Amino acid sequence: MLVARSGDEIAAVAAAIREAGGGAVAQRLDVTDLEAVAAFFADAKPFDILVNNAGTNRPKAVTEVSEADYDAVLDLNLKSAFFVAQHCARAMIASETKGSIIHVGSQMGHVGGINRTLYCASKWGLEGLSKALALDLAPHGIRSNTIAPTFIETPMTAPFLADPAFRDDVLSRIKLGRLGRVEDLMGAVLFLASDASALVTGTSLVIDGGWTAD
């Protein structure tokens, strides 16, 4: 099941998956609407895998951050992530469904970043959330982990990476010498979703090309 605030893109992806012989449905949902989140999980069959992926960023100097900026970033990146995981876990526990919750964090949940106080706060918080969830949910056979990517070429990062100086600085920190692609995350998600990671919980798989190793 593909979930997003905008329906057209995920509907097209779901159709492509079906055409390729898989099974997929698209569901429009704003995860900042907690009543809608509760209703979504109440109506759906219990999931055994959740990829908790919604996120945003408002890069600004700490002196320029407004309360609205704070709420926008922390509400989506951390608050919504918590309640999506909570509702998913409740349904899994009630149905005795074992499985895996995978949060999409960031390398910025392991280091600091200039003009990224809000983003770092949210992603460091997500790391702590995942570890605590792993402890709470382990008795139910539910695992919780994060993946922590570096800069991935997506529509959200495109405006930042269009700045040559910023792009050069990013590339100088990624020791493998290139930006990430969405495909670089697929293996990590498949690993954490599968029985290959049956004893892995409460940890983070950092996919950063060596950024945080320095």
Indicate the residue type of 141.
G
Question: Whose CA is closest to 150, among 121, 113, 187, 118?
Answer: 113
For residue 113, count other CB atoms closer than 10 A to its CB: 15
> Residue 3 burial by CB count (10 A; 0-12/13-18/19+): exposed, middle or buried?
buried
Angle at 32 between CA 26 and CA 37, to 5 degrees: 55
Helix residue spans in the chain (DSSP H):
7-19, 34-43, 67-74, 81-94, 117-137, 158-161, 164-173, 183-193
| Active-site hit among 41, 47, 119, 211 | 119
Backbone angle region of 177, left / alpha / beta, with phi > 0 → left and psi within -120 to 50 → alpha = left
Instruction: Look up 119 and say whether it is catalytic.
Output: yes
Structural tokens at position 120: 């770092």
Q: Hey, is 53 helix, strand or coil? A: coil
**Cα–Cα distance, 123 to 128 (Å, whole number):** 9
Give catalytic residue positions: 119
